[in-house]
Amino acid sequence: MFNKLLPYLAAIALFIVLCVTYFFPQFEGKVMTKGDISHWKGMVQEIKEYKEETGKDALWTNSMFGGMPTYQIDSIRKGNGLTVIQKLARLGIPSPAGLFFVGMLSFFIMLVVLRVNPWLAIVGAIAFGLTTNNLVLYEAGHTSKLMAIIYLPLVIAGMILAFRKQYLLGGAIFALGTGLNLWASHPQMSYYFVLTTVFFGIAELVKAIQDKAVPEFLKAAGTLVIGGLLALGSTASNILPTLQYAEDTMRGKPILEAEGEPDPNSSSQTEGLAWNYAMGWSNGVIDLFSSFIPGVAGGGTSEPVSRNSEIGRDITTRLGAQLPETFGAPLYWGALQFTSGPIYFGAIACFFFLMGLSLVKGPVKWWLALGVLFTLMLSLGSNLEWFNRFI
């Protein structure tokens, strides 16, 4: 019995040790400066002051856009069981170590469901948890985006189990993973993932038709629909107000009529977001290559560089001024406006992914291949205009 449990216990222990070691400065009281989080603290300052003075939660703030509901920037989640679950999943380990621990654990569960050897699954989970892209997201302060990502492996695990006729277990894991993903409150990540699941459904349907197992397919699909509804219900207090509020923002219809023809590049004069605004963060082809070739698009927009480096000496010579010991240099030359770092997933990880596509059989293979291709095409935005205008 112990021998069977050993790899799973070892995985949890190793993930904890690795995360605590990697993020040890946090346990020394040090805090990473995260751009978006610093901005967020300014946004919620009025809300926090009101809470301290009155003991009540404010539902409106005047500190953003001349006034807006607070639930868009400081969600109130009292009584939501998912809040308790995500804290338990971290085993009491504070962020960022606890956040990356959950990411590794989530991916480990998915790999085990995919029948990967547990010892090998540990390696895959670590590669996922500490991938450069995740670290860049955290450093930039995109915490909600990162949280939405780390729960997606649970969603995938639930889907796979459901289509293996393990309806109850699959539905439960799917509902939990989807609920936590929605709880993270990053609708874009949830939306794009749902789009990729269309390929999973098509692949499973084709297999079901070939195997004459359409009734089983319908049972699995029904299970996932029920799980999805449960997840939506558990986060409805955030989703429904967001949908309602969106109509009164630049994402809704314009409330003022423009003189003459509406400007298609102005979100205030068009229904929904203007194309240029929505596509403002479109990857270029070189940015896609940076996912597996380190440094092909440079580094970050403000990369720390030593004044004794070749760049530092050249700038000193040209400006005739003494630079600080380290300074931020614009070392990124991709298509994005700016970035904290490359969208790098790892050359070895990408190699094994491609090798897996050539070796693995079944619907999961086609879902991953088409889903990844679809995601890459979406990320190109205005640089693949014909496709993204159609979508």
Q: HEC string of 270-291? A: CCCCCHHHHCCCCCCHHHHHCC
326-377 pLDDT, tens digit per residue, is 888 888 988 888 888 888 898 999 999 999 888 888 888 888 899 999 999 9
pTM of the model: 0.89
* CB < 8 Å & 24+ apart, contacts of 34-39: 34/138, 34/139, 34/140, 34/141, 34/143, 35/140, 35/141, 35/340, 36/140, 36/141, 36/142, 36/143, 37/141, 37/143, 38/141, 39/141
Cβ neighbours, 10 Å, residue 178: 28
Cβ neighbours, 10 Å, residue 334: 21
Which residue bears the tokens 């492996």? 153
326-329 and 303-306 strand pairing: antiparallel
Looking at residue 329, its pLDDT comes to 84
Q: Tell me the C-alpha distance between 221 and 167, whole Å.
A: 9
Q: Which of 7-11, 201-205, 277-281, 288-292 shows the lowest per-residue confidence on average (mean pLDDT)?
A: 277-281
Looking at residue 75, its pLDDT comes to 66
184-242 pLDDT, tens digit per residue, is 988 889 999 999 999 999 999 999 999 999 999 999 999 999 999 999 999 888 888 88
Residue 106 in this model has a pLDDT that exceeds 70: yes
Which residue bears the tokens 């030593």? 306
173-183 pLDDT, tens digit per residue, is 999 999 999 99
Residue 98: its H or E element: helix 97-113
Looking at residue 204, its pLDDT comes to 94
- DSSP for 4-16, written as a single string: HHHHHHHHHHHHH
